[in-house]
Amino acid sequence: MSEADGLRQRRPVRPQVVTDDARVPEAKGGSSFSGRVFRATFLMLAVFLTVPLLGAMMLLDSPIDPQPLSFKEPPLLLGVLQPNTKLRQAERLFENQLVGPESIAHIGDVMFTGTADGRVVKLENGEVETIARFGSGPCKTRDDEPACGRPLGIRAGPNGTLFVADAYKGLFEVNPWKREVKLLLSSETPIEGRKMSFVNDLTVTRDGRKIYFTDSSSKWQRRDYLLLVMEGTDDGRFYVSGLMKGGADLFVENLPGFPDNIRASSSGGYWVGMSTIRSNPGFSMLDFLSERPYLKRMIFKLFSQETVMKFVPRYSLVLELSDSGAFRRSLHDPDGQVAAYVSEGRRKMAGERGDPSHMKPSRSGEVLGGSASRDVGSGARSWCRLQPKAALLLGDSPVGVKQRERRRSALSAERSSVRPLNLSFPVCESEN
C-alpha cells in the first residue's frame, strides 16, 4: 500500500474523532424547540391577560362621559411665574391637630376654618375648639362625607358671625360665640329645577345682606371631584342677583394650574390657590387627556380615583393676580415639601387685628391636601408661618382651568375699604 492510499483510507475516520461537530445540529434543534415553547407560553399569558382586560374595557361602564376640551399651551414658568421655594419658608403650626382645613376667616385675633372631618373650628391662643357640625356619624372616609358634611368656603360677616358653605348640606350662618347654627339654604332646595350637589365657596357683601356662592356641579359631589374635572362638562353654576343675574365675564384664562379658591389681595387684585400645576416646560397629564376622552373613559373603567390621584405631582403654587387678571407674583413649593396642595390664599387686612396674613396647606380631600393624600382622615395636620404678607390655603376640589367670575360682584364685594396693615415684620401662617 502506498502512502497516498494510506491517507485516503484514514480520512473517513477523522470526523468520528471530532465528535462535537456531530452534536451541533442536535443542540440547535433543542434551542429552537425551547424558543418555540417560550414564545408560545408568552403569547398564551398575553392572551389570558389581554382578553379579560379588553372584556372589562368593553363591558364595564365608565363613571364619566367626558367631552373633549381644548386647552391652550400652558404659559411658560418664566418671569413672575419662575419657580421658587417661597412656600418652603413656612413654619408649621397646630401640627397633628387639624385634618384638611380648606378655607380661613378672621374675627379679630381669632381664626376659623372648616376641616375634612366635618367640623368648623376656632383657632385661638394655640387651642383648637369645635364650634359647629352640620352633619353626624363617623367622618373617617370619603364615603362618610355626605352624612358627615364637608365645610369648604368660610367668610366672616359684618355682625361677628360666620357664613359657611358645606359641600353637602348647603349654606349656614354660625355664631361662634354662642355655638348657634342657622341653615340659610339647604342643598336639597332645587334652584332652577336642579338640586345643588357641590356647594363650594361663597362671599358676603359688606352690609351682610347678600351672599354670593358657587355650586361646582349639579351632577357630581365633592367626594367625586376628580370625576367632575375629568368629565369636563359645564354644569356648575354661579348665582348672582340683580340686573346682571345669569351673566358672567371671562376674567382670566390659561393659568399655569387649575384654580381653586380666590380671595382679594391687599393690592386690589386676587390670590388664587392652584390645586394642580400645568408645567411648561414639562408634562401636564390633565392637558394631555383633555382632548382624548376615550383615554379618560378607559382610565376610570380600570382605576379608582384614589389610584389616579397617586399620579398627580406634589407641587404647591399660589398666584397673585392684578385686578385685570395679569400675573403679579407667584409662590411655589416645587416638591410639596411643606405644602403639597394649595386651595386658598388670603391676606389679613387692617381692622381684623392679629397676624397680617395666613397660609394653609391641606392634605384632605379626596382630595383635594398638606401632603400626598386628599382624603378624610389623612389631611394636613398643621399651619405655617411664612414671610410674605399673604393668606394662603391648600387643599381640595379644583374647579377647572378657566375660572369664571364677575369682576365687580362677588369677589370685589369682599374688599375692605380700610388700607392694608403695614408692619415691619410681616408674617404669614400656613398649614400642612
pLDDT tens digits, one per residue of 324-369: 999 999 999 998 888 877 788 776 554 443 333 344 443 332 222 2
Sequence ranges of the domains in the chain:
80-414
CB 114, CB 359: distance < 8 Å: no
Which residues lie below 8 Å from residue 127, measured CB to CB, with a gap of 6+? Answer: none
The pLDDT assigned to 271 comes to 93
Q: pLDDT by residue (tens digit) across 264-285?
A: 888 899 999 998 899 999 888 8
C-alpha 145/C-alpha 157 separation (Å) is 26
C-alpha 252/C-alpha 325 separation (Å) is 5
Does the reported pTM lie above 0.85?
Answer: no
C-alpha 107/C-alpha 124 separation (Å) is 11
* Superfamily for the 80-414 domain: TolB, C-terminal domain (2.120.10.30)
Burial of 312-334, coded b for 16+ CB within 10 Å and e otherwise, reads: bbebbbbbbbebebebbbbbbbb
Strand partners of residue 329: 320
DSSP string, 345-386: EEEPPTTS-S-SEEEEE---SS----SS--STTS----EEEE
Backbone angles phi, psi at 222, to 5 degrees: -60, -35
Mean pLDDT score, 215-240? 84
Nine cell digits for residue 269: 387684585
